[in-house]
């Protein structure tokens, strides 16, 4: 009969385990717990990249945002640049403050100059941004 008791407990736990309605330990939440670990002071985690810890606004180069975006979306950004369009290259253009009127030109430019922006499979986010800047400067947009 002991086996029966053990299984009763297992069944109850199984039922309990599967009741949750939201993501709790999935990858996305893992990522968010990292962020929120710092949110004891509401402003810090959120603004860490663009300001000092005490929330005072500090002037930062606009490309910091572009680098951050490229860092966490390198793969998707690269795919978009290879085809000359898409959501990620559009967001990237916004972080680089590229004029709306020149966006299509920028997408085409990114495609034709793909291997100057992504020189190899190891090109990092900082290089991607500075290479993109160079390509933009040469083309004069």
Partner 1 sequence: MHYSPVLIGKGVVSLVDDPSFFLSSRGKSSPQAELEATLKSFFVALPNDNQTTACRFPARLAWLTRVLDIKKSALPEYQCTHLNHWLDDLDADGLTLIFPVSMLNSPASMFGHTFLRLDRKAEKKPDLLAWTVSYAAHTAGDEGVSFALNGLLGGYPGKFSLEPYHTQVKAYSDIESRDMWEYELDYSQAEINSLLLHLWELLPAYFDYYFIDENCSYQLLALLDVARPELDLTRNFYLDATPAETVRALTDAPGLLKKVNYRPSLRQVVSERAANLARPDQELARALALGEINMRDEQFNIRDDRIRAEILELAADYVVYQDAVKRNEKMLLGLDVQANHVLGDQFPNDENSHSNLEQETLLYQLLAARSKVPVKSGSLEIVGPNYRPDQGHRGRRIGFRYGYDEPDQFLQMDFRWAYHDLYDPSSGFIRGAQLEFFQPAFRYYPEKDDFQFESVDFVNIISAPLRNYFVQPYSWEASAALKRYQFDEGNRPLMWDFKAGIGISYQLTGSTVASIFANTAINLSNEFDHNIALAGGGRVQLISTVTASWEAGLYGQAMQYFEGIDQTSYELGMTQRFTLGADSAIVFDIAEKREFGDAFLSTQLSLQLYF
91-130 residues near partner 1, rule: CB under 8 A: 91, 94-95, 100, 107-108, 111-112, 114-115, 118, 120-125
The reply on whether position 51 binds partner 1 by CB under 8 A is: yes
Cα-Cα-Cα-Cα dihedral sign, residues 111, 115, 116, 121: positive
User: How many other β-carbons are positioned within 10 Å of the β-carbon of residue 5?
Assistant: 9
Which listed residue (42, 61, 101, 140) binds partner 1 by CB under 8 A? 42
The reply on whether position 27 binds partner 1 by CB under 8 A is: yes
The reply on whether position 71 binds partner 1 by CB under 8 A is: yes
The reply on whether position 48 binds partner 1 by CB under 8 A is: no
Q: Kindly determine how many residues on this chain lie close enough to bind partner 1 according to the rule CB under 8 A.
A: 82
User: Which string of b and e fits 92-130 if b means at least 16 CB within 10 Å?
Assistant: bbebbebeeeebeebbebbbebbeebbeeeebebebbbe
């Amino acid at each position: 009969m002991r086996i029966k008791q053990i299984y009763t407990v297992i069944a109850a736990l199984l039922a309990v385990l599967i009741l949750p309605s939201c993501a709790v330990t999935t990858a996305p939440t893992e990522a968010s717990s990292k962020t929120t670990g710092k949110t004891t002071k509401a402003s810090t985690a959120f603004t860490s990249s663009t300001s000092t810890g005490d929330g005072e606004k500090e002037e930062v180069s606009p490309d910091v945002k572009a680098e951050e975006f490229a860092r966490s979306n390198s793969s998707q950004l690269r795919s978009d640049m290879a085809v000359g369009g898409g959501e990620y290259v559009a967001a990237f253009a916004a972080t680089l403050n590229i004029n709306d009127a020149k966006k299509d030109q920028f997408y085409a430019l990114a495609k034709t100059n793909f291997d100057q922006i992504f020189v190899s499979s190891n090109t990092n986010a900082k290089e991607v941004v500075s290479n993109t800047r160079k390509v933009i400067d040469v083309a004069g947009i």
